[in-house]
């Protein structure tokens, strides 16, 4: 197998820092979106918690679960803390 075939598809060493920065920027952007969804789910949960309908409590619990799950995902994206 030639060196050309082995390296196909792999970033060159000089391109690696740019690739890492691009990935970090993508993660940062996606985290922002997840935080926006989390805020919406939290607001929805609070509105439903005080709703008058017979299923408001159940819907509030579902919205709260969505918000909690989003925070778990965001925490995993942040990686291990030292």
Q: Is residue 15 part of a domain?
A: no
Average pLDDT per 10 consecutive residues for the chain, totaling 82 residues: 54 72 90 93 90 87 93 86 57
Q: What is the CA radius of gyration of the chain?
A: 21
What pLDDT was estimated at residue 9?
A: 62
Number of independent structural domains in the chain: 1
What pLDDT was estimated at residue 68?
A: 93
Q: Is residue 14 part of a domain?
A: no
What pLDDT was estimated at residue 8?
A: 59
Q: Which residue has the tokens 């989003």?
A: 70
What pLDDT was estimated at residue 69?
A: 94
Q: Is residue 69 part of a domain?
A: yes
Contacts for 37 with CB less than 8 Å, ≥ 6 apart: 66, 70
**Residue 62 belongs to what domain range?**
26-82
Distance between CA atoms of residues 62 and 34, nearest Å: 17
What pLDDT was estimated at residue 40?
A: 93
What pLDDT was estimated at residue 13?
A: 58
Q: Is residue 11 part of a domain?
A: no
């Amino acid at each position: 197998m030639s060196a050309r075939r082995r390296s196909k598809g792999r970033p060159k060493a000089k391109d690696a820092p740019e690739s890492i920065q691009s990935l970090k920027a993508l993660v940062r952007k996606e985290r922002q979106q997840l935080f926006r969804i989390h805020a919406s789910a939290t607001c929805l949960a609070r509105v439903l918690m005080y709703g008058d309908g017979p299923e408001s409590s159940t819907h509030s619990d579902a919205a709260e679960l969505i918000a909690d799950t989003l925070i778990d995902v965001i925490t995993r994206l942040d990686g291990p803390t030292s």
